[in-house]
Amino acid sequence: MTAHSNAPPSAAAPSVVVLDHPLVQHKLTRLRQATTSTAGFRRLTRELSLLMAYEATRDLPLETVDIDTPLERTQGHLLSGKKLCLVSILRAGNGILDGMLDLVPAARVGHIGLFRDPTTLEPIEYYMKLPDDIGERVCIVVDPMLATGHSAAAAIDRLKTAGARQIVFVCLLAAPEGVAHLAAAHPDVKIVTCAIDRELDDHGYIRPGLGDAGDRLFGTK
């Protein structure tokens, strides 16, 4: 899968990766459509999460091991060390989490519960549960939308306080404002997304976007 950074100038950062694979763009377009059913939205999100996980795990360390094939002894490569922790920003992050666990079922899982104050748009935490050894793992934080960037930055603040040192943020869609905010708050965190859309509206929704990802995933609206 090829990937490139094509963030607009206001959000440009070397750690922003936009996936340009044809399958990613095809599935994202289907995901955006208002006519896509709840079941279809879940399926497409799961499929996209597998493709995004490919890029998010690109830099995982490997170690050389000796193995026996049916024909001879040779050397191969396995993931090294404690590997991964997938951290879902509740509730919508679980739509991406499920697909990534299909690819890396041995990963540890953390959850951070945040909701956005409808007036200030600031994040308010109501839940957090993380593995004890999170400082020894690469953390992949998942949330479908990077809108204002405040929730993502707040979640990563909490992860770093808990000891996390290597963090990647993965989302389906981002707004330039969110990319800029997260890059400024945490310049060491790579952002992986399928697209950077035009802008945020007055209510903090990404335009053209895909609506409220949580409502579409869980059929609550």
203 among annotated binding-site residues: no
Phi, psi values for residue 52, rounded to 5°: -70, -35
Specify burial of residue 210 (Cβ count, 10 A radius: 0-12, 13-18, 19+). Answer: buried
150 among annotated binding-site residues: yes
151 among annotated binding-site residues: yes
Active-site residue list:
116, 120, 212, 215
212 among annotated binding-site residues: yes
91 among annotated binding-site residues: yes
Secondary structure element (H or E) that encloses residue 50, with its range? helix 38-56
145 among annotated binding-site residues: yes
Expressed in percent and rounded to 5, the helix, strand and coil fractions of the chain are: 35, 30, 35
88 among annotated binding-site residues: no
CA–CA dist 171, 194 (Å, integer): 7
Helices (H), 57-188: 94-103, 150-161, 176-185
CA–CA dist 40, 44 (Å, integer): 6
34 among annotated binding-site residues: no
20 among annotated binding-site residues: no
Bridge partners for 168 per DSSP? 140, 190
- Give the relative orientation of helices 22-32 and 38-56 as an angle to the nearest 10 degrees: 150
59 among annotated binding-site residues: no
Specify burial of residue 136 (Cβ count, 10 A radius: 0-12, 13-18, 19+). Answer: middle
Residue with tokens 């204002």, as numbered in its chain: 148
211 among annotated binding-site residues: yes
52 among annotated binding-site residues: no
Which residues sit in the known binding site for 5-phospho-alpha-D-ribose 1-diphosphate? 91, 116, 143-151, 212
Which residues are known binding-site members for uracil? 206, 211-213
Residue numbers in the known binding site are: 91, 116, 143-151, 206, 211-213
